[in-house]
Chain A
Amino acid sequence: MSEANSPKVTLRQDGAHATLLLSGAWIGRSGDTPRPAEAMLPEHGTGADRATPASIGFDATRLGRWDSALIDFLWQLRRLAAGRGIGFDESGLPDASRRLLSLLDDSRPAPLPPRRGPGLLARLGGATTTALTGALNNTGELSSLLGGLTLRAGAASLGRARMRGIDLLDNLYDAGPSALLIITVVNVLVGAILAFVGVVQLRRLAADSFVANLVGLALVREMVPVMTAIIMAGRTGGAYAARIATMQGNEELDALAATGIPATDYIVLPAVLSLTAMMPVLYLYGCVVGIAGGFVVAIAMLDITPLAYIQQTRMSLPVGEFGFGLLKSFAFGLMIAVTSCRIGMKAGRSAADVGSAATSAVVVGIVGTIALDAVFAVVANAVGR
């Protein structure tokens, strides 16, 4: 934008009356329009000229194109003037701008909602409380209510913490901490069941001490990655598909497309990133609690000391096994997130379509997980692990 065309406001003080000369093009998105405070406390005049004027008027003869940036400027100026008891003479302004100004009300101070949501720690703290209360009440209702409130508070923050960051945080919370309870329950039980089966069978072979190997290896290699993925396909994948399908029905995706915001960046990316990032974490957590579940059963049923059991578990599990499990979890998370987002985006617009999108996301997620696991098993066999 040329110098002559850039928006400018110059103050000309004539006794008690001040005139603001508006010139140039006032286009909001260029971001170079003056702020009213600068106009009210001008640096142009010297000493005596700086006295507060009794009234201000405008000269818009050299004003170029304008949009809401000019209206915003004038509105702020009018509120400032009203606050300081300065007369505001609109007669020099373009008619169209006066018409818009007449729509605006000076009386309301118009505070925007507070922008800062709770920090990460507060969210995690809230999430923990939420999970515990929910477990104690044995209903999901309270937890989802509290969770919803936490999220709404977060969503109400108009992002100085950036929009996209907040989206990601919400998704991370959804895919991670809020799934801990169910991940714990399922993996503890799986570990316990494996130990139970192992004890009964291996005792016949007098190989009791290998229960730890069975439980550890089966959990770390197969059960925890697959069970965790199935749980996440059911709760998070289904939720993604339903949420996106609902947005489809509300024309929210159309609104994004018409505004030129790619739906993939805005919706899919945070979802995929968070599930892919959280799955390996959940996997490691699932391994720990699963082994703990097996430990409790084995100690109760076998004639073995806790220390010996732990030692046996550690020996049977080289770090590489965890690496393989982590890789699988990562792949499962990616697959579930991408397929369910895609199913949501491809859904129709009716309420029934939301239901079928959620259903097929869950089915595809579970079947896909098991199919992918089979591929991993073949590959692992081929490379000799």
Chain B
Amino acid sequence: MAADTILEVQGLELAYGTRVIQRDLGFSVRRGSIFAVMGGSGCGKSTVLRSLVGLLRPAAGRVLVGGEDYWAGDAAQREAIGRRFGVLFQNGALWSSLSVAENVALPLRMFTRLDNAAIDSLVRLKLALVGMEHAAALSPSELSGGMRKRAGLARALALDPEVLFFDEPSAGLDPVTSKRLDDLILQLRDGFGQTIVLVSHELPSLLAIADDGVFLDATTRTAIAHGSPKALRDDSINPQVQAFMRRERLEQEG
């Protein structure tokens, strides 16, 4: 494993029962990069993400986090590794019984010994970074889709994770809001130097922010191309990848 690789996937096979979603999947994520897991709907992108953050045990293969085998250890070891992760779920997955501020504060309360003043201060900072300061007291059900994602992002940032995972960050957002979220992700990455792994099929967003990635295919059920979205668009000769990317080109020209 190269020194600047933070996450490496080797021979991963994912299945729900006997239904295989992806097999023989391999890729590695460089520290500080924005890595995209791409592919059409239903090819298992989100399933891959679930196996990376500890929600789905792979049927075979390994996930190495900084050289440690994530699924080899017991639950406590996985938890310790997982504490270096932040996850933004597709619809934010905010805990509905807590206010926005409490959502961000909960991980800090659970995993640090900070006093209330320090926690408040960090919560305020995280909310201000994502532009959600004014919404601290609201409950998740009172938020719009875009706000929910930003609040989820603030929560994912709560413990200053090394790796941030995003499940379809721009899904369900209008192009302007989506662009704003992309910009925010870039600014935060540049600021904190985090590694970001994102699952997406939104081409504008992929082209704008990802600098490396893997392309999954639903029929062959494995990765068919590696590289940044831009490189795949310009250089890939794989017809599947081309079809996916060409639509984007037409859209951009139109």
Contacts and interface: CB of A to CB of B under 8 A. Distances in A.
Contacts of B3: none
A265 to B, nearest CB: 9
Contact of A71 (B112, B113, B125, B136): B125
Contact of A31 (B79, B85, B114, B190): B114
Interface string B149-165: 00000010101100000
Contacts of B101: 112-113, 158
Interface stretch (A14-22, A92-100, A273-281): A92-100
B55 A258 contact: yes
A139 interface: no
B91 A113 contact: no
Contact of A259 (B107, B137, B184): B107
Contacts of A104: 125, 128-129
Interface stretch (A127-135, A192-200, A245-253, A307-315): A245-253
A84 interface: no
A247 B97 CA distance: 10
A255 B93 contact: yes
Contacts, number: 149
Nearest to A33: B118
Interface in B206-251: none
A159 B121 CA distance: 14
B129 A255 contact: no
Contacts of B108: 29
B203 interface: no
A108 B95 CA distance: 26
A256 B160 CA distance: 17
B111 A29 contact: yes
B32 to A, nearest CB: 11
Q: How large is the interface on B (under 10, 10 to 19, 20 to 34, 35 or more residues)?
A: 35 or more
B129 A112 contact: no
Interface string B115-144: 110101111111011010110110100000
Query: From DSSP, what is the main secondary structure of chain A's interface residues?
Result: helix
Interface residues of A, number: 45
A256 B131 CA distance: 24
Contact of A68 (B126, B155, B190): B126
Contact of B187 (A31, A100, A155, A170): A100
Interface string A163-174: 100010010000
B47 to A, nearest CB: 13
A110 B107 contact: no
Contacts of B113: 31
Nearest to B113: A31
Contacts of B252: none
B125 A72 contact: yes
Contact of B134 (A69, A108, A158): A108
A67 interface: yes
B191 interface: yes
Contacts of A255: 87, 89, 93-95, 155
Contacts of A113: 99, 101, 136-137
A260 interface: yes
B36 interface: no
A76 B125 CA distance: 9
Given A31-B115, A167-B97, 13 more contacts: A28-B112, A28-B122, A31-B113, A75-B128, A96-B193, A97-B191, A103-B191, A110-B128, A110-B136, A160-B116, A252-B96, A254-B55, A261-B107
30 contacts: A28-B160, A29-B111, A29-B159, A31-B114, A68-B157, A71-B129, A100-B191, A103-B128, A103-B129, A104-B125, A110-B124, A110-B133, A112-B136, A155-B98, A156-B99, A156-B137, A156-B139, A158-B105, A158-B120, A159-B109, A163-B109, A247-B96, A251-B90, A251-B91, A254-B50, A255-B94, A259-B82, A259-B87, A259-B107, A259-B110
The 5 residue pairs across chains A and B that have the minimum distance between CB atoms = A113-B137, A100-B191, A251-B93, A67-B160, A255-B93
